[in-house]
Amino acid sequence: MAKKISRKNKKKKRIRLHRSFIMPFLVTLTAVAAIGVLALAAHQWIMEPVKTKRPDIVRPDQGNGNWEKVDYEEKDGEEGQEPSGPEETETASKYREELDDAAYMEENNIYAVEPATPGQVTLAFAGDVLFDDHYAITGPVRSDGDISKGVSPEVIERMQSADIMMLNNEFAYSDRGTPIEEKQFTFRARPETVSYLNDMGVDIVSLANNHAYDYGPEALTDTLDTLREAGIPYVGAGREIGEARKPVYYIVGDIKIAFVSATQIERLDTPDTKEATENSPGVFRCWNGEKLLETIREAAANSDFVVAYIHWGTENQAELDWAQLKQAPELAAAGADLVIGDHPHCLQPIGVIQGVPVIYSLGNFWFNSKTLDTGMVEVVIDETGIVSYQFVPCLQSGCRTTLLQGAEKERVLTYMRSISEGVRIDGDGFVSW
């Protein structure tokens, strides 16, 4: 017979059952909470040294170009949020110290330009120009100084759109000096005609040629002063040899480009165009090329990209001469990334040596009254090197240089293909190899 349990006894038993459940539950809950606190403390203890060991970084303060020190915890006001890539910060600050030191930049021929396209630089090159009023070429612009009457607006637009535009200034700016005796052609322009360079969008000129010294040392130093006053950097001549051989550098965004220029002409031990010495003005000569190669090696060590602009070759001949063929590989081996040639007054081949593109002569750009094919070279570079290389056909005719289109453009491109080995030139003038 089952034992009967009173209501009072049932209540006691129920209370005992509740107590037996609650006590273990409270103990377990307390233990879990304690473990959680210990885990949080351990996490903070482990992670804290990592944060304090992270280095501060330097980044541009957005919107004002100033530089400030920022540590990781303060970035964008969000604790622990890491900045967007140390690589981008390092690139942005690559040449900050140079750009902040005006005296250093002036002493070392360094100029700064903002690129039209971030991360890329467009370089443009043309050949010989002459502003001497005693020659026919300046006829269209002589009355009012409107250079667009001599160089078409379409050409000028392309020149101005480049980040850096360079050509060969083959004359002196001066009212002084006397012409070199027995020299058939001597060139000198009024100093005020330097404004043509500004109007065309020219950023740098080469003076390493056989006419910059036509009116002697006084006219050459006047030329240097005139260009400097006009804000046009020059390369390839100077008051002494140190200045004549010194590269010009451009910092464009995060890319530093060196420009070096020298002349093989004239190929004599005692040329009419004097070489600069330790105490006399002149040009930078490279008939004996060792000084030029030393300068290119120096430029390569101090920049990301080196342009060698060389005055060489035989006048009015498309064929390359032995001195060009000898020196071009030496320039590439020394560290030149791009070689631009002038002097022959006509177009010469485009080639590639050790991966370095060379146009041996760009010919006349705006130089005389002859009808001659000419052109510009436009090269786009980034931090990895050359992105594109384009030959832009033009024509010098009737004392005016114009941009070619249609059948005439294709005619010049076809000619350049016929004389250029080892490269391909498409219908728009883009060169590949």
Question: How far is 123 from 166, CA to CA, in rounded Å?
Answer: 8
Count other Cβ atoms within 10 Å, centred on residue 82.
12
Dihedral angle, C-alpha 41, 47, 49, 53, nearest 10 ° = -160
Residue with tokens 């391909």: 424
Domains of the chain by residue range: 96-432
Residue 163: both structure tokens together:
């980040």
The pLDDT tens digits of the residues spanning 245-298 come to: 999 999 999 999 999 999 999 888 889 999 999 999 999 999 999 999 999 999
The pLDDT tens digits of the residues spanning 132-167 come to: 999 999 999 999 999 999 999 999 999 999 999 999
Q: At a CB cut-off of 8 Å and minimum separation 6, what does 210 contact?
A: 170, 263, 265, 266, 271, 272, 273, 311, 343
Question: How far is 215 from 174, CA to CA, in rounded Å?
Answer: 8
Dihedral angle, C-alpha 320, 323, 329, 334, nearest 10 ° = -140
Asked if residue 37 has pLDDT above 90, the reply is: no
Question: What is the pLDDT at residue 39?
Answer: 52
Give, in degrees to the nearest 5, the angle at Cα 36 between 33 and 39: 155
Name residue 426's amino acid: D
As a whole number, the mean pLDDT across the chain is: 85
Share of the chain above pLDDT 70, in %: 79
Backbone φ and ψ for 84, nearest 5 degrees, come out as -85, 75
207-221 average pLDDT score:
98
The pLDDT tens digits of the residues spanning 380-394 come to: 999 999 999 999 999
Q: Is 37 helix (H, G, I), strand (E, B) or coil?
A: helix
The pLDDT tens digits of the residues spanning 393-417 come to: 999 999 999 999 999 999 999 999 9
Least confident of 27-31, 217-221, 231-235, 370-374: 27-31
58-80 average pLDDT score:
33
**Which residue from 283, 174, 270, 183 is spatially nearest to 218, judged by alpha carbons?**
174
State whether the Cα torsion 241-170-354-288 is positive or negative. Answer: negative
317 or 50: which leads in pLDDT: 317
Asked if residue 1 has pLDDT above 60, the reply is: no
Contact of 341 with 314, CB cutoff 8 Å: no
Asked if residue 21 has pLDDT above 70, the reply is: no
Question: What is the pLDDT at residue 113?
Answer: 95
Count other Cβ atoms within 10 Å, centred on residue 2.
4
State whether the Cα torsion 290-292-293-295 is positive or negative. Answer: positive
The pLDDT tens digits of the residues spanning 93-130 come to: 499 999 999 999 999 999 999 999 999 999 999 999 99
Sorting pLDDT into bands at 50, 70 and 90, what band is 34? Answer: low
Question: How far is 176 from 42, CA to CA, in rounded Å?
Answer: 84
Asked if residue 15 has pLDDT above 50, the reply is: no
Q: At what angle do helices 290-301 and 322-334 cross, to 10 degrees?
A: 30
| Residue 346 DSSP label | S
Question: What is the pLDDT at residue 105?
Answer: 96
**Which residue from 86, 62, 61 is spatially nearest to 72, judged by alpha carbons?**
86
Question: What is the pLDDT at residue 270?
Answer: 86
Question: What is the pLDDT at residue 3?
Answer: 35
Q: End-to-end distance of the chain based on CA atoms, in angstroms?
A: 110
Question: What is the pLDDT at residue 267?
Answer: 87
Question: What is the pLDDT at residue 30?
Answer: 56
Give, in degrees to the nearest 5, the angle at Cα 154 between 152 and 158: 115
pTM as predicted: 0.79
State whether the Cα torsion 215-258-110-378 is positive or negative. Answer: positive
Burial grade of 4 (CB within 10 A; 0-12, 13-18, 19 or more): exposed
Question: How far is 131 from 275, CA to CA, in rounded Å?
Answer: 23
21 or 403: which leads in pLDDT: 403
Q: At a CB cut-off of 8 Å and minimum separation 6, what does 124 contact?
A: 158, 159, 162, 164, 165, 166, 376, 377, 378, 379
The pLDDT tens digits of the residues spanning 228-247 come to: 999 999 999 999 999 999 99
Say which CATH superfamily domain 96-432 falls into.
Metallo-dependent phosphatases (3.60.21.10)
